[in-house]
Amino acid sequence: MNILVCIKQVADTEARILFKSDKKSLEIENKYNMNFFDEFAVEEAIRIKSKIKDSQITVCTYGVKKAVEALRTAIAMGADRAFLLDNTGLDSDDPLITSKILANFAKQEGFDLMFCGRQAIDDENANIGAMIAELLGIPHVSAVLKFDIIDEKKVRVESEIEGGKETLEVQLPALFTTQKGINEPRVPLITGVMKAMKASITVVDPSTFEGLSKELIDMTASKISILTYETPKGRPAVKIVDGETPGEKVKSLINILKEEAKVL
């Protein structure tokens, strides 16, 4: 089975992030990781490979040169090969462009099964997976919590829906986005780390893909532009409710909710 996993390198949750003076771009401390939800995608692909003989796992990312680190992490975990779709000189903020590039790569490489993380933890768009599937004309299930292969043409998945879970049977090829809980991503073995350190990562210029050109995927083609970044408002100070007994505290709380918060 040919499994393709699309991943993204994102800023570490502890990285220092500042707005540049124009408030339209960010200055990010040099701490990056593979996107949290993409780790589940890579792990699931590895688990499938361990069950289905002769499977191959390909990982790809559309990003900056530094994103090879995330690709190497995927190889250290157990992926077979990796491709960096280099966005040098192309950087756009439009997820549709990213999806077109990834879909084009998928078409070119061929696949039976595709995985993405359910969303990136930086922009929280959660739309790349669905858009790739649409562009490729294949089925898509998001927020997958359980994945079982029925045969090489069919899978059964459990996905998260509002207030519950849904079980679906899906014809392959198809795309699935992974949700936390589907598996526990492994810590790479040293043999995997060594393989990843030596791995040759193929760098591809996406503007050379059939049907794409620089003008179709660069900043000028973007239908979305960032106007401004703002920080969330700071939380107000915590108010300790006075009262000698629990009863008095409840009375005091109700009074505050009525008179100050005006929610009752």
Alpha-carbon torsion angle 224, 95, 159, 67, nearest 10: -140
Q: How far apart are CA 254 and CA 25, in angstroms?
A: 45
Q: How far apart are CA 33 and CA 231, in angstroms?
A: 22
Alpha-carbon torsion angle 86, 92, 93, 94, nearest 10: -100
Strand partners, 59: 5, 82
- Of 198 and 223, the one with the shorter C-beta distance to another protein is 198
Q: How far is the CB of 250 from another protein (least distance, A)?
A: 29
Q: How far is the CB of 82 from another protein (least distance, A)?
A: 12
Q: How far is the CB of 196 from another protein (least distance, A)?
A: 7
Q: How far is the CB of 251 from another protein (least distance, A)?
A: 30
- Of 116 and 196, the one with the shorter C-beta distance to another protein is 196
- Of 95 and 185, the one with the shorter C-beta distance to another protein is 185
Cis peptide before 173 (omega within 30 of 0): yes
Q: How far apart are CA 188 and CA 16, in angstroms?
A: 26
Q: Which residue carries 């190497």 as its tokens?
A: 72
Q: Which residue carries 């499994």 as its tokens?
A: 3
Q: How far is the CB of 85 from another protein (least distance, A)?
A: 18
Q: Which two tokens stand for residue 148?
A: 């079982």
131 with 142: CB under 8 angstroms?
Answer: no
- Of 131 and 201, the one with the shorter C-beta distance to another protein is 201
- Of 54 and 184, the one with the shorter C-beta distance to another protein is 184
Q: How far is the CB of 188 from another protein (least distance, A)?
A: 6
Report phi then psi at 224, rounded to 5: -125, 135
Kindly list the residues in this chain that would bind another protein in the complex (CB under 8 A).
33, 68-69, 72-73, 76, 187-191, 193-194, 196-198
Q: How far is CA 104 from the centre of its chain?
A: 18
- Of 8 and 72, the one with the shorter C-beta distance to another protein is 72
